[in-house]
Amino acid sequence: MKKNLVFAANWKMNQAPADAGAFMRTFLGQYARQQDRRVLFFPPAVSLHVVVQAIKERADLEAGVQNIHWEDKGAFTGETSGSLARGAGARHVLVGHSERRHVFGETEEETGKKVAAALRAGLTPTICVGETLTQREAGLTIDVVKRQLRAAVSGVDAAVVATTIVAYEPVWAIGTGKNATPQDAGEVHVAIRAELRAIAGERGAAVPILYGGSVNRSNVDALLAADEVSGVLVGGASLDAEQWLAIARSG
Ligand code: PEP
C-alpha cells in the first residue's frame, strides 16, 4: 500500500471564480479526508481565492498557482511573483509544465530560476519534466528528463530539493488521450528516483513523483500501481467534479 500520495488538479485556463466555487462545493460535499493522500488544486490565478477560501478548514487539501515569474517584485506587467501568490494563499506552484516550455518557449534556465523563486517565496514547486515524441522515439527519454530535472534544481541546496514535488509528464501524452503504459511510466519514474537520490542522497527518496498525461478514472489505478508513481497530475479529467472525485479516491 503506497503512502503520502498526491493528487493534483491542473485546471489550466478554465474555471472562472463562479465555476470554481460550484466545483469546490460539489467536491467538498463528497470528499472525506483520506490519511494516505493530499489533494492539490491549481486553478487559474483569478480563481485562486475561491479555492483557498473553500479549503481553509481542510489540512488535506492545498492550492497553488500554475506559473510564477522568477523575480520577486517589480515592473513585470502581467506577471505574478511567488510572494504575491503566497500572499493570496497559494502553497504550491507548477514549474516547467510542458505548455510553458513548448507553447511559451520557457527555457530550462528560466525553469531553474522559477524553482528558486518558488522556494524563496515559501511555495512548493511541482517540477514538470517530460520528453517529446521525437525524443522518445530517438531513445532519449531518460536523458531528457534527467537533464530537465538537473537544470530545474541547479540553484537549490540538496536538502531543499527533498521538499519539492516532481511530475513526469510525457509531452505526447498531455491532452491527447494517449498515456504512457504503467510499465513505461514506471521505468521513467525509477530513473527519476535514482536521479533524485544522486542529487539529494537518501532525502531524495521522500520526493513525490507524479505521473501526468491523459490520466482519467479508468486508467488511474493501473498508473498508480507502477513503480515509484506517488500520485498523478491531471488536466482535462480534473475539470469535472465527479470524475475528479473518482480519481482522488483511487489507488
Ligand atoms: C496536465 O496539464 O498537466 C495534464 C497532464 O493534462 P491532461 O491530463 O489533460 O493530459
What's the pLDDT tens digit per position in 182-217? 999 999 999 999 999 999 999 999 999 999 999 999
Residue 178 has a pLDDT of 85
In whole angstroms, how far apart are CA 241 and each of 11, 26, 58, 174, 235?
A: 11, 7, 17, 20, 12
Confidence at 140, pLDDT banded by 50, 70, 90: very high
Q: Is the pLDDT of residue 101 over 90?
A: yes
- Specify the pLDDT at position 85: 98
Domain, as residue range, for 71 = 5-248
CA 165/CA 207 separation, integer angstroms: 6
Looking at per-residue pLDDT, the higher value among 9 and 178 belongs to 9
Model confidence pTM above 0.95: yes
**Does pLDDT of 171 surpass 90?**
yes
The pLDDT of residue 158: 92
Residue 58 contacts by C-beta under 8 Å, 6 or more apart in sequence?
Answer: 28, 33
Instruction: Look up residue 251 and give its three cell numbers.
Output: 489507488
Pocket test for ligand 1, best of 94, 233, 240, 244 (most atoms within 8 A of CB): 233
Q: Which atom of ligand 1 is nearest to the CA of 234?
A: 8
Q: What is the CATH number of the domain that holds 231?
A: 3.20.20.70
And the C-alpha cell for 216?
A: 482519467
Measured by CA distance, the residue closest to atom 2 of ligand 1 is 235
pLDDT band at residue 59 using 50, 70 and 90 as cut-offs: very high
Pocket test for ligand 1, best of 6, 12, 93, 238 (most atoms within 8 A of CB): 12
Residue with CA closest to ligand 1 atom 1: 235
Average pLDDT over residues 78-88: 98
H-state helical runs in 121-181: 133-137, 141-152, 158-161
Task: Quote the ligand 1 centre to 74 CA distance (angstroms).
Answer: 31
**What is the average pLDDT across 81-97?**
98
Q: What is the pLDDT of residue 211?
A: 97
- Indicate the length of the chain as a whole number: 251
Pocket of ligand 1 (CB under 6 A): 10, 12, 169, 174-175, 212-215, 233-237
Query: What 3-state class would DSSP assign to 134?
Result: helix
Beta bridge partners of 92: 64, 124
User: Mean pLDDT for the chain?
Assistant: 96
For residues 95 and 98, give the distance between their C-alpha atoms in angstroms, rounded to a whole number: 9
pLDDT band at 98 (very low <50, low <70, confident <90, very high): very high
- Residue 2's pLDDT is 83
C-alpha grid cell for residue 82?
511567488
97 is catalytic: yes
97 contacts: CB under 8 Å, gap ≥ 6: 10, 66, 67, 128, 169
**Total of domains in the chain:** 1
Worst-scoring range by mean pLDDT, 69-83, 139-153, 164-178? Answer: 164-178
